[in-house]
Chains A and B, each alone.
Chain A
């Protein structure tokens, strides 16, 4: 599903060049739940952005669900993001003043064809994350954990090949974190491919495999079951 090979990424800031990723190689199989762990400043977010086709790598190759990402242009990357990727962010990134339902429907606006059952699908997803009775609530009327559940429903609405979650519990209390991680666990049992970036060992414990990002490189190690 995901094949990263020798991915490098450096940023040029004036004359200073920073190498953030120094040859990341990672394979993720269909239906796998992989956690990428690392402390901050190790290039987690950069790796996430590359995986999410938001950022192009400086070197190496990236294949996602058969597509050669490095050769695609901006519009094609947008399409990939729209069709194959579901994002879950640390800060939720819901649109204010917009109902939970409309937030979930957001990715479908940009789909090639607006599905006729879009609304039904969104309602079902909100029900599946336990917000069936709050589909018309606005973000200001929802708690942090509920925000993230809306965001997960949004990530699923376009039936993506992979779900990328960047510190999804970073802004949540432990009870909400557990709820969210249980949703991911359930998704895994539904054969979704999930990549979770986290610095929390508890969260990583829900994944089937954990890899470690240190100094711009990936170190594989079987996570304890």
Chain B
């Protein structure tokens, strides 16, 4: 009851000192808005990464031809994986199967008067199982297509849109690097790769056709997607694959790998490391700006205590105990930060919605709100304690005789 009365006193004082209230709320609002936006952005970025890793597939291990630290797929030109490599890898314990494919990046495509470029992959039917992705419409590349070196293709939705607009592409012919291919299917949509490339700007043709007719690489395979039974063993199996390949390629212990192996875990790590620096920086801002708000709060509250010494003295004379005065000023701080925090969250959400409209990944969930509320109360308490204690220690006799 007494506490409620004192909170009432605090609320009245907040309403009475409008300028002071405005300044504190502004400072806290900016801080909390920053916090919510940054948390939302970070969450949005993480979600995107998780989605991309999902696209990569947690049970997949990618084997690239060619060593070094290059990123992205290996092209047919760099291919150095042999048929023996593939069968040896398939014999490793825990490997379900390995799906080889040839890759050529950004090949010129033409249909009628429309041009575009896309990644072209030479694949076998097991590509569908390896990527859990098949033809959404029409047919996929079959074994007989591979045996007959057929000039058929399955095209991604982005490529289809670029070449055909809204026309149904199935049954039409397109030119890939000036070789005519018949479109037999449209590939299921997939979105972006872990590295951010469009997985739908893609054309699949038979592996043999790619090797012999288009990419001039009849002996070697440029890439391999290995599917394993247990995603938890990915790291271990990746090690086994490395051993097999080093042995098959007769690499001396001093030589570097002439291939690259990547697992979902590594891909996640790679992406996270690039966004980490930015993430730390953002978090720093996110944490610092409410703290600055807190310092503003403390400053203004200290001024308020100095200004209101007479009021404090009077309240003490009327029988207020030290702790009543402390409670009054502390609850002023907490009410101010709390309402500033609510405003901050509101502004933060507006900014977040705006950012989402701009097409940036941002996730609006309850978590930033919860963090902001907790942070607000903590700031109000932490930065409010000192001014409140100061108010409690005001010498009432001196204050009244000023």
Contacts and interface: CB of A to CB of B under 8 A. Distances in A.
Contacts of B321: 74-75, 78-79, 110
B235 interface: no
Interface residues of B, number: 24
A158 B317 contact: no
Q: What is the predominant secondary structure among interface residues of chain B facing chain A?
A: helix
Contacts of A154: 318
A95 B318 CA distance: 12
A158 B319 contact: yes
Nearest to B308: A95
Interface string B1-20: 11001100100100010000
Contacts of B6: 109
A83 interface: yes
B401 interface: yes
Contacts of B2: 109-112, 114
Interface stretch (A47-55, A120-128, A129-137): A47-55
B317 A87 contact: yes
A54 B12 contact: no
A164 B323 CA distance: 25
Interface residues of A, number: 28
B246 interface: no
A147 interface: no
Given A74-B321, A78-B320, A110-B318, A93 B400 contact: yes
A95 B317 contact: no
A83 to B, nearest CB: 7
Contacts of A112: 2
A112 B400 CA distance: 24
Contacts, number: 67
B361 to A, nearest CB: 49
Contact of B319 (A79, A93, A98): A79
A154 B401 CA distance: 19
Interface string A67-87: 000000011001101110001
A114 B321 CA distance: 16
A59 interface: no
Interface string A82-121: 1100010100010101100000001101111110000000
B400 A109 contact: no
B374 interface: no
A204 B323 CA distance: 38
A106 B400 contact: no
Given A95-B311, A109-B5, A82 B397 contact: no
A87 B107 CA distance: 94
B396 interface: yes
B322 interface: yes
B381 interface: no
A75 B396 CA distance: 13
A86 to B, nearest CB: 9
B314 interface: yes
Which among B12, B318, B324 has the greatest number of chain A C-beta atoms within 10 A?
B318
Nearest to B317: A87
A59 B5 CA distance: 37
Nearest to A46: B397
A95 B13 CA distance: 11
Contacts of B317: 52, 54, 81, 87, 93
A110 B400 contact: no
A154 B6 CA distance: 18
Nearest to A105: B5
B319 A83 contact: yes
Contacts of B310: 93
A108 to B, nearest CB: 8
A52 B397 CA distance: 10
Contact of A110 (B16, B320, B396): B320
Interface string A151-181: 0001000100000000000000000000000
A98 B106 CA distance: 77
Interface in A52-67: 52, 54-55
Contact of B322 (A75, A83, A93): A75
A54 to B, nearest CB: 5
Contacts of A107: 318-319
A10 interface: no
Interface in B354-388: none
Contacts of B318: 81-82, 87, 106-107, 109-110, 154
A114 B5 CA distance: 9
B52 interface: no
A112 B322 CA distance: 15
Contacts of A45: 401
A82 B323 CA distance: 15
B316 interface: yes
B315 interface: yes
B314 A93 contact: yes
A95 B320 CA distance: 15
Which among B9, B319, B320 has the greatest number of chain A C-beta atoms within 10 A?
B319
Given A78-B320, A113-B1, 8 more contacts: A55-B397, A75-B321, A78-B319, A81-B317, A93-B400, A97-B16, A107-B319, A110-B318
Interface of A: 45, 49, 52, 54-55, 74-75, 78-79, 81-83, 87, 89, 93, 95, 97-98, 106-107, 109-114, 154, 158
8 contacts: A54-B316, A74-B322, A75-B323, A78-B316, A78-B321, A82-B319, A106-B315, A112-B2
Interface of B: 1-2, 5-6, 9, 12, 16, 310-311, 314-324, 396-397, 400-401
